[in-house]
Amino acid sequence: MPSKRKQVRPTTAPVARTARGAEGDELTTAHGLRLSDTDHSLKAGPRGPSLLEDFHLREKITHFDHERIPERVVHARGAAAHGVFVANGAAASVTKAAFLAEAGRETPVFTRFSTVLGSRGSADTVRDVRGFAVKFYTAEGNVDLVGNNMPVFFIQDGIKFPDVIHAGKPHPDREIPQAQSAHDTFWDFVSLHTEATHHVLWAMSDRGIPRSYRTMEGFGVHTFRLVAADGATSLVKFHWKPVAGVHSLVWEEAQLAAGTDPDFHRRDLADGIDAGAFLEYDLGIQVLPDSAEETFEGIDLLDPTKIVPEELAPVQVIGRLTLNRNPDNYFAETEQVAFHTGNLVPGIEVTNDPLMQARLFSYLDTQLTRLGGPNFTQLPINCPHAAVNDNLRDGMHQTLVHKGQVAYLPNGIDGDLPRVSDQGYVHLPREVEGPKVRANPVSFEDHFSQATLFYRSLTEVERVHLVEAFTFELGKCYEQPIRERALAQLANVDTDLCAEVAAGLGLKAPKGKPAKDVTPSPALSIVVTEPGPITGRVIGVLAVPGSDLTGIARLRTAAKARGAVVRVIAPIGGILSADGKEEIIERTLLTTRSIEYDAIVLADGTGEFKDIKSTVLLQEAFRHCKTIAAWGSGEQALLAAGVDTTAPGIVLAAKSTKAFTTAVLDAVGLHRAWARADHVMQS
């Protein structure tokens, strides 16, 4: 007997939708009444008061008054993209979840990147953790991998989350500073709460200021349990590895960008996708044996302040994520997407990591307030692509018109449908025992050894950045005892690190007991020595009337072939033309800053040109160790701007040739000429 149960969407108006999603071309009220005027309120005479009777005025203003929903408590500032995940089959031995295991299976995804501390309108490039949340619309239901760009977290137990967030958010009395950790309450908390040490080192490292979402790693943070088809289980850590490599900004650049282009990361994401330079990440897993102790090489896998170094357990790639479509509407998609760590399918389970356990409660709970009730799964961006057949009914914003009489089980009226499935999610039976306590395992007490491991795994230039970041942040604190406590914490990480930060603050370095036998993990460093992909990178070419337009076109073609773009910068706007060729001027010295470019190239013809703004542009690019290049008379302009053309990362040529463009693009592929950092300090 066919089921009488049906879930149908409300009948849509019998009018075709236009490209912008509207029904027809005529303006109507929300109730479909066509309007003849939307610019004048109904008044008692042209100079008279407005009339309460004006239903259009009231509807228009009332709807406007309610346009905002509560922003996310954390991760309010975000940007997102649609894409696809394609599994390569390598996970088949460890999980029965088809979207991960089946070679070639394509799963649509929606990925939202975010900062943690700032409000929705805050700047993208602040020093902070980045969220990396992926919703997989699998055939078995939605799976959310709600990760960050750092593999560890500030706290070991979710009950501390309100504490760390309250400490990091602006001070409650004046609501400053916005989207910053460089303030007293943050450092007060993390210096007292030493389990945050490892994470604080990550946040103060270059990972806290990514170049773009494209060049950012992602981590599941917690250990998950995968279940294979034969029931065998493994403990795993998830990693997203960006195909474009891991790269960051430098701090001064991040600060400049926060002012000149607060949308730096979301613009880069959207522009890249529009230009066909899609974002790509490999999904990898570290597979660790599922033992009773839940440890690996002495590392407690339930402790979210610990990593498993890749040298001990290699990351095995199980598929690739490609982000290839921008959202059509920020609010409907990016703002309304609702992630939940409990969205799982058979083959993936959570572990007893006490941070993860609290998250399993929090995400569903927060959506009820943020999205105004329990029916947010019906919003298009949250709708599973699998069939939904629940007995959940009514509630705010119910958009389904459920039919029939039955919304319960068991039932005799509707054939006892919907029935439970033999393919359904079964929690793996596992023993749970122990006294009821508010306590952590003893192994959670090691708060420093992995912070030491992280610091000692960095290259010299990364260590310098880390020291500068600590010195900057602590230098912004007003309370001396907080600085001193933070130094005491660093003394237990590394003596040199502590001494250098102390020197920068003008304080005496305290003594500590840093771990001695730490084996560095080179995989933690992000400095590259071979040119990598330059997809999505931006090369600014400074040109003037009379510049060599053929050379610019050659660079553009070569850059485009490698997924990068060239933007022409000139003193004033318009079009440059010579010998029948034209170049549109995309930026003028008034509308640009160095932060927009990964490299700045001076075209032949700029030799006599000198302007304080171009000098600043070049000086900043020089200080930030970006590629600087010139051909022909461009070299003269470089010298006139005070650029040391003998420094590393400066590419010069008499003419624009293929070899020159290749050298420029390869230099961009190194991300930065870090060897120049010494010249910068001396100059």
Distance CA 201, CA 501 (A): 13
- For ligand HDE, which is the closer residue by CB, 304 or 347? 304
- For ligand HDE, which is the closer residue by CB, 153 or 251? 153
Task: Work out how close the CB of 114 gets to ligand HDE at its nearest, in angstroms, rounded to a whole number.
Answer: 5
The residues that touch ligand HDE, with contacts defined as CB under 6 A, are 72-75, 78, 112, 114, 131, 133, 146-148, 153, 158, 161, 221, 337-339, 355, 358-359, 362-363, 366
Task: Work out how close the CB of 414 gets to ligand HDE at its nearest, in angstroms, rounded to a whole number.
Answer: 35
- For ligand HDE, which is the closer residue by CB, 222 or 485? 222
- For ligand HDE, which is the closer residue by CB, 117 or 497? 117
What is the β-pairing status of strands 538-542 and 599-602?
parallel
Task: Work out how close the CB of 625 gets to ligand HDE at its nearest, in angstroms, rounded to a whole number.
Answer: 30
What is the β-pairing status of strands 130-138 and 106-115?
antiparallel
Task: Work out how close the CB of 146 gets to ligand HDE at its nearest, in angstroms, rounded to a whole number.
Answer: 5
| Residues 70-75: contacts with CB under 8 Å, at least 24 apart | 70/369, 70/370, 71/119, 71/120, 71/370, 72/114, 72/120, 72/366, 72/370, 73/165, 73/366, 74/116, 74/117, 74/165, 75/114, 75/115, 75/116, 75/131, 75/133
- For ligand HDE, which is the closer residue by CB, 341 or 606? 341
DSSP 161-195: HHHHHHHHSPPTTT--STT-S-SHHHHHHHHH-GG
Rounded to 5 degrees, φ, ψ at 372 are 70, 35
- For ligand HDE, which is the closer residue by CB, 265 or 679? 265
Task: Work out how close the CB of 261 gets to ligand HDE at its nearest, in angstroms, rounded to a whole number.
Answer: 22
Q: Is 265 in the active site? A: no
Rounded to 5 degrees, φ, ψ at 574 are 120, -145
- For ligand HDE, which is the closer residue by CB, 256 or 337? 337
Q: At what angle do helices 480-491 and 495-505 cross, to 10 degrees?
A: 160
Distance CA 558, CA 657 (A): 11
Report the residue count for the chain.
683
The answer to whether residues 438 and 358 touch, using CB atoms and an 8 Å cutoff, is: no
Q: Token pair for residue 239? A: 């990693």
Sort residue 324 into left (φ over 0), alpha (ψ -120 to 50) or beta: alpha
Burial class from Cβ neighbours inside 10 Å (0-12, 13-18, 19+) for residue 287 reads buried
Rg (CA), the chain: 28
- For ligand HDE, which is the closer residue by CB, 115 or 234? 115
Q: Angle at Cα 359 formed by Cα 356 and Cα 361, nearest 5°?
A: 125
Task: Work out how close the CB of 221 gets to ligand HDE at its nearest, in angstroms, rounded to a whole number.
Answer: 4
Task: Work out how close the CB of 652 gets to ligand HDE at its nearest, in angstroms, rounded to a whole number.
Answer: 44
Q: Token pair for residue 176? A: 């400053």
Q: Is 56 in the active site? A: no
The answer to whether residues 213 and 263 touch, using CB atoms and an 8 Å cutoff, is: no
The answer to whether residues 599 and 540 touch, using CB atoms and an 8 Å cutoff, is: yes
Largest CA distance in the chain: 90
- For ligand HDE, which is the closer residue by CB, 199 or 465? 199
CB atoms within 10 A of CB 163: 13
- For ligand HDE, which is the closer residue by CB, 133 or 451? 133
Task: Work out how close the CB of 109 gets to ligand HDE at its nearest, in angstroms, rounded to a whole number.
Answer: 13
Name the DSSP class of 594: G
The sign of the dihedral angle between the CA atoms of 70, 76, 79, 82 is negative
Task: Work out how close the CB of 681 gets to ligand HDE at its nearest, in angstroms, rounded to a whole number.
Answer: 36
Distance CA 431, CA 64 (A): 54
- For ligand HDE, which is the closer residue by CB, 229 or 358? 358
Considering 75, 183, 671, 679, which one is annotated as catalytic? 75
Task: Work out how close the CB of 486 gets to ligand HDE at its nearest, in angstroms, rounded to a whole number.
Answer: 22
Closest CA to 154 of 171, 141, 167, 135: 167
**Secondary structure (3-state) at 642:** coil
Considering 88, 142, 148, 326, which one is annotated as catalytic? 148
**Secondary structure (3-state) at 327:** coil
Distance CA 681, CA 478 (A): 28
- For ligand HDE, which is the closer residue by CB, 308 or 618? 308
Closest CA to 637 of 541, 511, 512: 541
Distance CA 79, CA 266 (A): 6
Task: Work out how close the CB of 358 gets to ligand HDE at its nearest, in angstroms, rounded to a whole number.
Answer: 4
Half-sphere exposure of 261 (CA within 13 A, CB side): 16
Task: Work out how close the CB of 247 gets to ligand HDE at its nearest, in angstroms, rounded to a whole number.
Answer: 20
Active site residues: 75, 148
